[in-house]
Structure 1
Amino acid sequence: MSKIDHSLFSVQQGGGQDERCPRCGSLLQLRQGKHGPFLGCASYPGCDYLRPLRVIEHDEDIEKVLDGSACPLCAHPLAIRKGRYGLFIGCTHYPDCHYVADVNDQGNSDPLCPACGRGHLVARTSRYGKRFYACDAYPGCRYVINDKPVATACPDCGFGILAERRGQVYCPNKGCGYASKTTP
């Protein structure tokens, strides 16, 4: 009383009816690997020919091509792409060009790091998707702030930056306490 259609499971072990290996002439078999099914030669240790069943397309992750934009490396159009960590801007000529830009970067100048004075505070994303700002001279300087930095010195203590949170600007220097409702 099984409702399973056994004709679905009557596939031969070979890749096709009489599909042969182009190197040695043996039959190709359907095999399973960590990246999915593939066709492999039946005389495997002697012949290592394999062919993926699905051709990997790099156009699958393109969300939208940005009209009027050009890659600074190869001059091909840029596109909004979907990756494992979210959306990013990348070149449409991907396997040959590896240009990548952040979607959230609007081209504004990053404020100078108040801790070291050499690096700039750049936006980063944690592995959990949380946004934070860190010094780009990382191994030497480990300054991090969670709120968006504003390139204005604190009027009370003279700290190099202010931070913005929910429309309020405050001084991130411990012990200062400066806060203002308006953005400077």
Structure 2
Amino acid sequence: MSLFKSTKHTEYCPQCQSALKIKRGKQGLFLGCSAYPECDYLKPLQQHNHVIKELNEICPECGALLQLKQGNFGMFIGCSEYPECHFTVHDEPETQANILCPECKTHQLVERVGRSGKHFYGCSNYPHCKFTLASKPTEMTCPNCHYPLAIQKKIRGKFMWQCANRTCQHLYEQESNQEEL
């Protein structure tokens, strides 16, 4: 057998039996069905979460063993039955802003870290409530639409308040009866 002879073998799509092709996406390389868009089968070529150690702890959601894993954002504890079970514990606790979510009106806003490492605020009931803000919110009523939250902006060297309602985003100066950050 020659070293330069191709040893390529073709994998076939389990959904439609078409050949799978290597493709590049924003998450890296993957195998995609050659019959796309009629068939949308995908198979990742690399595992994103590397298992470091099996733990003797039981997952509170499904009863399987937990694992210490290395992911894109550092080490975390996750269920060994992923992707069927999505239980995870991260080393950084979420900090509550002690502000009620204006969308679901039942849970608090918490500070989180996004994929790019930037901090943002979102509802603690995620994924059921997807409310998010890019900046730290303050409980302050908008004089234009009466939305209960605002974020502080610096415009031309002057601090202003911007309504956190995406449909309003009214800019205004702080009123004297509301306290400064």
- TM range, smaller chain: 0.3 to 0.5
TM-score normalised to structure 2 length: 0.41
Q: Highest Rg: 1 or 2? A: 1
TM-score normalised to structure 1 length: 0.40
Report which of the two has the higher share of strand. Answer: 2
